[in-house]
Amino acid sequence: MRKRPDFLLFLLFSVVFVVSGFARDELRFPNGDRISGKVVSQEGGKIRFVSEMLGELEIPATGVEVALDVPDTPVEALAGLPPTKEPPAKVVAKPPPQEQPAQVRPPPPPAVTPAALAKDKSRWKGRVEAGFVQQTGRSDRTDISLRADAERKVGRNQFRLEGRFLYAESAGAETTDRRDGLFRWRHDLTDRMFTQAQTSAYTDEVKRVDVNAEQNLGLGYKVFQRERHILNVGAGLTGQYRESAESVDGWAYLVEAFQDYTWRINGRITISQNASAFYSPPELGSRNIASSAANPNSLGNYRLRFNSTLQGKVTDRISMNLRYEFEHDATIPNPALRDDQRISSSIGYAF
Q: Does the pLDDT value for residue 273 go beyond 70?
A: yes
Taking all residues of the chain, what is their mean pLDDT, rounded to a whole number?
Answer: 81
**pLDDT higher than 50, residue 327:** yes
Distance from C-alpha of 238 to C-alpha of 341, rounded to nearest angstrom: 24
Average pLDDT of span 27-39: 83
Is pLDDT at 134 greater than 80 in this prediction?
Answer: yes
pLDDT value for 29: 85
Please indicate whether residue 142 or residue 18 has the higher confidence score (pLDDT).
142
Answer yes or no: is pLDDT of 138 > 80. no
More confident residue, 44 or 191: 191
- pLDDT 10s digits, 8-23: 444 444 444 444 444 6
Higher pLDDT, 70 or 187: 187
Q: What is the pLDDT of residues 203-260, one digit of tens each?
A: 999 999 999 999 999 999 999 989 899 999 999 999 999 999 887 788 889 999 999 9
For residue 2, the model assigns a pLDDT of: 46
pLDDT for the residue 172: 84
Is 99 exposed, middle or buried, given 0-12, 13-18 or 19+ CB atoms closer than 10 A?
exposed
Q: Is 217 helix (H, G, I), strand (E, B) or coil?
A: strand
pLDDT at 322 exceeding the cut of 70: yes
For residue 291, pLDDT beyond 80: no
Question: Strand 65-71's sheet: what is its strand order?
Answer: 55-60, 46-51, 34-43, 23-28, 65-71, 90-92
Question: With contact defined as beta carbons under 8 Å apart, do 92 and 65 qualify?
Answer: yes
Give 42-76 pLDDT, tens digit per residue: 888 888 877 777 778 888 888 888 888 776 554 44
Task: Name the residue with higher pLDDT: 156 or 89.
Answer: 156
Is the domain 3-92 a CATH 2.30.30 member?
yes
302-314 pLDDT, tens digit per residue, is 899 999 999 999 9
With 70 as the cut, is the pLDDT of residue 6 above it? no
CA separation (Å) from 182 to 17, 199, 218, 242, 250? 114, 6, 15, 16, 21
Task: Give the predicted TM-score (pTM) of the model.
Answer: 0.62
Q: Which of 90-94, 105-109, 206-210, 345-349 has the lowest mean pLDDT?
A: 90-94
Position 96 scores a pLDDT of 56
pLDDT at 309: 97
- Ranges 31-35, 91-95, 147-151, 159-163: which has the least confidence: 91-95
Beta strands in the chain (DSSP E): 23-28, 34-43, 46-51, 55-60, 65-71, 90-92, 125-135, 141-154, 157-170, 173-188, 193-204, 209-225, 229-244, 250-264, 269-280, 301-313, 318-329, 339-350
Domain ranges in the chain are 3-92, 116-350
Neighbouring CB atoms inside 10 A of 312's CB total 14
Q: What is the pLDDT of residue 299?
A: 59
Q: Read off the pLDDT of residues 222-237 as tens digits, 9 standing for 90 and up.
A: 999 898 999 999 999 9
* pLDDT for residue 305: 96
Q: From the options 2.40.160.40, 3.30.70.260, 3.30.420.40, 1.10.460.10, give the CATH code of 116-350.
A: 2.40.160.40
Looking at per-residue pLDDT, the higher value among 263 and 59 belongs to: 263
How remote is the C-alpha of 253 from its chain's centroid?
A: 46
Q: Is residue 130 pLDDT above 50, yes or no?
A: yes
Q: Is the pLDDT of residue 338 over 50?
A: yes
What per-residue confidence (pLDDT) applies to 116?
53
For residue 298, name the pLDDT band (cuts at 50, 70, 90): low
